[in-house]
Structure 1
Amino acid sequence: MIKCMLLKADKTCIYGAEELIDTWRANSDTHLWIDIDSHDKEQEKLLLQELGCHSLAIKDAQRDRHPPKIELFKNYIFMLYRGIYQPKGDLLFDHLQISMFVSTNILITSHTKDSMSLNSLFSAEGATFLGKSPITLALRIFHYSCGIYLQKLFEFEEKLEALEDKFQLGGDDKMMQEITLYQSRLTKLKRTFNYHSNIGAELKILVTDETTIINDAELHTVIDVHERIERLLSLSQMHYDICSDLINGYLSVTSHQLNATMRVLTVITAIFIPLGFLVGLYGMNFEYIPELKVTHGYFYLLGFMGFLASSLILLFKKKKWL
């Protein structure tokens, strides 16, 4: 499906389909937003080529999965980022690859599923941004997607704090498994935000570059987008570090408990080794064992074994092993 938003010089906004492309071509003072959603790839390729998009950029846009990137061509900026089809709980997102071709008077967006940011800005608010410039609208779409990520990270922060407090009272393997799962999801988000951070940094460079597509007028918007991306990256890193600390703390406590248990078992073993030696010595089936004929030898041996065990117990307590 292809839908278009045409903004005339008098700020009149017209919504329609492909027929608005001819109207835009006939009027150089108009701005056009073409949104391509789940369209046939071959027809999409022909349309993009007709609008002057480079074949390599089209190929990247139509790939099922491609790392976010930004690239400056002669007549437009190509930007590829990871938007959101549908957010879920606990740092789960249905990601959506969104391609943007931005020129001085046209913005082309391409995606395979509905986009929350695109749907939200395909309205009067989006027309306002388009009236300023297509790059302003593109940046606001990017900014909106980052806002959704930010909201979900804030929600997760509250859950992580509650989990951290609960963990201090006594962690278990179930909680450990949950924290490890969050850490894995945060790793994926960090990778995405790191790519987006590179896009933000490159946009700041393009502002000062010799291109008419983006200039000093958009500098504030570029900085705002870049700061939001950096905040996403720092928050995801902070949450990742907290999860790592909780995991390391749980492992340290578990290791300490294991060491304490092993120490008690070692002490018990150390007490019974000499006792077992004496029992084995006098349990041998030799006829002429010394002290074998002593009348009260059994009680003497039990007393000595008791004395030996008590002495070892006192020694271990003195060394604070018990």
Structure 2
Amino acid sequence: MARKSSKKRTQDYVKHIGQIPGTLIYTGEKSDKDFQVECFDYTKENVEESILLNIEEVINYKETDSVTWINIDGLKHTDKIENIGKQYNLHPLVLEDIVNTTQRPKIDEYEAYLFVVLKMLYYDKNGSLVIEQVSLVLGKNYVLTFQESEGDVFGTIRNRLRHNNGRIRGLKSDYLMYALIDAVVDNYYTIIETLGNKIEDLETELFEGHAREDVNIEIQQLKREILRVRRAIFPLREIISRITKDDQPLIYKRTITYYRDIYDHLIQVSENIDIYREMIWSLMDMYMTTISNKMNEVMKVLTIIATIFIPLTFIAGIYGMNFKFIPELQYKYGYFVLWGIMILMFLAMLYYFKRKKWL
């Protein structure tokens, strides 16, 4: 499972020590990604999709009557992010938070726009959990989204805009931001389902007694994975709650119902995370119990073997003594009789242990 090392996290914090507030310092890991600006400008009747090669073109969509979604990929390019921020009059602290990928999910209210930070979760082709920061800026007729690199969970939103599916092209930018957040939250269900399957597989493996030697490492990794998911998802509930309860001038009342639906989904996801978290702790207890039971089985077998050989060793010890006069030593069939007695004792003890169900 890929995750940022403690050394890398420490370096990220050190970068900000002593810096002027509003200084743009990229703290992510995807530093080799290209910069790309994707634009969807639409009304109910038509939509225009384009890739903006010139950054200055983004200002053309700020005061239009249509609704515009501008998606920026490549947070490493802080100079270009700063340029876009100046054109849309974004506060320097907002730009600083956009490129600081360790930011906790939050919402900030400004006079002309809302700024939202959330975490987009998905599994890459190697099956590793990826947590990518997505920043959204909601204006009167536009939504800006900032991502570390190309590739996201917004494919369905793009298709709905292209084919005019649903009500997205008939409503304002507040509904567009809802649709984007909803796409992120819907993908949380995929993450939760995958985690649930992993936990159930481990539980079955432990319950049936076929646990691998490295299963404890897998349990620990899964526990860390759930904690990462929990830290990424839980703060989003507070964000959506503020949107639904506060009087936001940029969010129309008709859209509040949709945000409440997101909140309900987040509650359900959060409950599942708590359940899986408890199950992980139970898996660790089950693993320790399984190890203990295996050790007990080994000790039981060794104890039975030792118990069987104690009387046999006793008999062999008596007739192995070096006394001159031991009557049985002179008996012609004494050796065979002794072997017969020892074998009978062995079989009798096996029978007794089996009746007691110790074997």
Instruction: State the 1:110 CA deviation.
Output: 0.9
Secondary structure of 1:116's partner? coil
Secondary structure of 2:39's partner? strand
Distance 2:216 2:337 in 1: 59
- 1:253-309 alpha-carbon deviations (Å, 9 max, x no partner): 56445534432331221121232133224323x354554765466567556655655
Aligned to 1:82: 119
Aligned to 1:3: 38
Secondary structure of 1:80's partner? strand
Aligned to 1:114: 150
8 A Cα contact 1:85 1:115, kept in partner: no
The percentage of counterpart residues that share the same residue type is 20
Which one-letter code corresponds to 2:39 in the other structure? C
Label 1:136 to 1:84 Cα distance change in 2 as closer, same or farther (>3 A).
Answer: same
Label 1:212 to 1:7 Cα distance change in 2 as closer, same or farther (>3 A).
Answer: same
- 2:257 is aligned with 1:220: yes
Aligned to 1:140: 179
8 A Cα contact 1:82 1:192, kept in partner: no
Aligned to 1:35: 71
Label 1:138 to 1:126 Cα distance change in 2 as closer, same or farther (>3 A).
Answer: farther
8 A Cα contact 2:38 2:70, kept in partner: yes
Normalised TM-score (structure 1): 0.74
Which one-letter code corresponds to 1:278 in the other structure? I
> Which structure features the higher share of helix residues?
1
8 A Cα contact 1:207 1:216, kept in partner: no
Instruction: State the 1:137 CA deviation.
Output: 1.3
- 1:106-153 alpha-carbon deviations (Å, 9 max, x no partner): 311111322333444243459953653323212211211232342465
Distance 2:315 2:235 in 1: 75
Instruction: State the 1:87 CA deviation.
Output: 4.9
Distance 2:170 2:230 in 1: 29
Label 1:132 to 1:177 Cα distance change in 2 as closer, same or farther (>3 A).
Answer: farther
Normalised TM-score (structure 2): 0.68
Which of 45, 59, 62 matches 1:21? 59
8 A Cα contact 2:141 2:172, kept in partner: yes
Aligned to 2:239: 202
8 A Cα contact 2:243 2:259, kept in partner: no
8 A Cα contact 1:143 1:228, kept in partner: no
Distance 1:253 1:112 in 2: 44
Distance 2:274 2:357 in 1: 42
Q: Which runs of 5+ in 2 are unaligned?
A: 1-35
Which of 268, 281, 285 matches 1:231? 268
Which of 100, 120, 126 matches 2:136? 100
Q: Which runs of 5+ in 1 are unaligned?
A: none
Which one-letter code corresponds to 2:176 in the other structure? L
Which one-letter code corresponds to 2:178 in the other structure? L
| Higher-Rg member (1/2) | 1
Aligned to 1:66: 102
8 A Cα contact 1:6 1:24, kept in partner: no
Label 1:275 to 1:198 Cα distance change in 2 as closer, same or farther (>3 A).
Answer: same
Label 1:179 to 1:242 Cα distance change in 2 as closer, same or farther (>3 A).
Answer: farther
Superposed counterparts of 1:47-66, under 5 Å: 47-63=84-100, 65-66=101-102
Distance 2:123 2:354 in 1: 62
